[in-house]
């Protein structure tokens, strides 16, 4: 009889440890699912902004005029702030973005624009609508993205 009580205690401790491991693994899995869906939402948002930018660049290049559009974008993605910026180098032009505070590091979330264009500016979610401006800079169509509120 005395050996059954410690045996039950050890069994209960083992079950508590297994239960804690199950809860931790399920929590990690749901966090991963949430992060994956937030990154997917960011990529969709970047695609929408890039499509509108390409439309403006096409209008600007074909009519040699300036165009501007206001985009109502969400303040946050999930509960996280996000940002996007436009940039280019000698070989490509893009709009990139990430979740969290803005940083100077290169992100894997990029949508490329036509190569013969130039782009600049940045937008942070939660600071009003995004404004896309397009105009001719010499013979090169230029796209700028800015936050209206800040």
At 32-71, the pLDDT tens digits run 888 888 999 999 999 999 999 999 999 999 999 999 999 9
Q: What distance lies between CA 33 and its chain's CA centroid? A: 16
pLDDT for the residue 4: 79
Q: How far apart are CA 49 and CA 57, in angstroms?
A: 12
Query: The pTM is what?
Result: 0.79
Per the prediction, the chain carries an average pLDDT of: 89
Residue 150 has pLDDT above 70, yes or no: no
∠ CA 56-75-102, rounded to 5°: 80
> Which residues constitute the domain of residue 96?
4-147
Spell out the residues 6+ positions from residue 123 whose beta carbon is closer than 8 angstroms to its own: 73, 83, 84, 85, 130, 145, 146, 147
Model pLDDT for residues 1-36, shown as the tens digit of each residue = 456 777 888 899 999 999 999 999 999 988 888 888
Say what percent of the chain tops pLDDT 90.
Answer: 59
pLDDT for the residue 106: 78
> Into how many domains does the chain fold?
1
Continuous segment of H or E residues that includes residue 5? helix 4-63
- For residues 100-126, give the mean pLDDT: 87
Residue 79 has pLDDT above 60, yes or no: yes
pLDDT for the residue 3: 67
């Amino acid at each position: 009889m005395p050996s059954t009580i410690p045996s039950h205690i050890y069994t209960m401790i083992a079950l508590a440890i297994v239960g804690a491991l199950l809860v931790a693994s399920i929590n990690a899995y749901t966090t991963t699912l949430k992060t994956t869906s937030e990154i997917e939402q960011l990529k969709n948002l970047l695609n929408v902004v890039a499509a509108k930018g390409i439309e403006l660049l096409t209008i600007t290049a074909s009519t040699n005029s300036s165009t501007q559009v206001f985009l109502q974008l969400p303040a946050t993605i999930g509960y996280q702030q996000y940002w996007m910026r436009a940039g280019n180098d000698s070989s490509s032009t893009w709009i990139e973005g990430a979740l969290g505070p803005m940083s100077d590091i290169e992100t894997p979330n990029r949508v490329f624009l036509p190569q013969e264009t130039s782009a600049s500016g940045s937008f942070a979610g939660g600071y009003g609508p995004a404004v896309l401006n397009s105009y001719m800079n010499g013979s090169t169509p230029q796209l700028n993205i800015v936050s209206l509120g800040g």
